[in-house]
Structure 1
Amino acid sequence: GRVSFLFAADIREEVEFELIGQRANLKSTVLKVAHHGSETSTTQQFLAAVDPAVAVISVGAGNPFGHPSPEVVERLIDRLGEDNVYRTDEDGTIEFITDGERLWMGADS
């Protein structure tokens, strides 16, 4: 199918660069942003390699770590547009349904 997801877990920029250097096929429709949107990941180069249409930041409201990083949020919005960046602390539960060719999305907000 044409729809794909990349769940970046807690990778840091070093791993992002390693994946890019290995010429891994990272292109994905949906990116689950690494490490709750921490400043330690989601580099410009990684975003260019993934080239997502939608990004999701899984993060708790009022977390003590200050996630997501404002710089990461700005980087995502600059690349994808504000309507294509979702945060669980603001948008609540985010659901995706796909048949492999098309993608449907819903959020609490």
Structure 2
Amino acid sequence: RLNWGRVSFLFTADIRDEAEFELVSQRANLKSTVLKVAHHGSKTSTSSQFLAAVDPEIAVISVGMDNPFGHPSPEVVERLIDRLGEENVYRTDKNGTIEFITDGERLWVKT
């Protein structure tokens, strides 16, 4: 987790639901402004419980276009859109490079 003032980013790498459950059960401070969605949006990550604990304003899915693994999972994308709104879910396969700029108070997103 990276914090700068009031803005925070949670980088989840390739954790799966088991690791998410462990973090939630340990009551880790997961609340973050931006969630980098785990494992390219795989169906084995970004559970509803984990998403509730993180409570992000923005989610980013790093995923290649037309990848052979079917990432991101439609269920994960739907879960994110339902919680954050479509305008707050970014995907590298659709948006290209995603850049965040912050002064610690405000956050700007450039695609």
Superposition TM-score, scaled by structure 1 size: 0.97
User: Could you list the per-position Cα deviations for residues 45-76 of structure 1 after superposition, in whole angstroms to 9, with x for gaps in the alignment?
Assistant: 00000000000000000100000000000000
Specify the code of the residue in structure 1 equivalent to 2:70: G
1:6 is matched with which residue? Answer: 10
Q: Distance in 2 between matches of 1:97 and 1:9?
A: 21
RMSD of aligned residue pairs (Cα, Å): 0.4
Is 1:66 paired with 2:63?
no
Question: Which runs of 5 or more structure 2 residues have no equivalent in the other structure?
Answer: none
| CA deviation after TM superposition for structure 1 residue 99, in Å | 1.2
| CA deviation after TM superposition for structure 1 residue 26, in Å | 0.1
2:21 is matched with which residue? Answer: 17
1:84 is matched with which residue? Answer: 88
1:104 is matched with which residue? Answer: 108
* Secondary structure class of the residue paired with 2:7: coil
Superposition TM-score, scaled by structure 2 size: 0.95
Specify the code of the residue in structure 2 equivalent to 1:54: I
Question: Which runs of 5 or more structure 1 residues have no equivalent in the other structure?
Answer: none
Please list every run of at least 4 consecutive aligned residues from structure 1 whose deviation after the TM superposition is greater than 2 angstroms.
none
Q: Distance in 2 between matches of 1:32 and 1:44?
A: 15
1:49 is matched with which residue? Answer: 53
Q: How many percent of aligned residue pairs carry the same amino acid?
A: 83
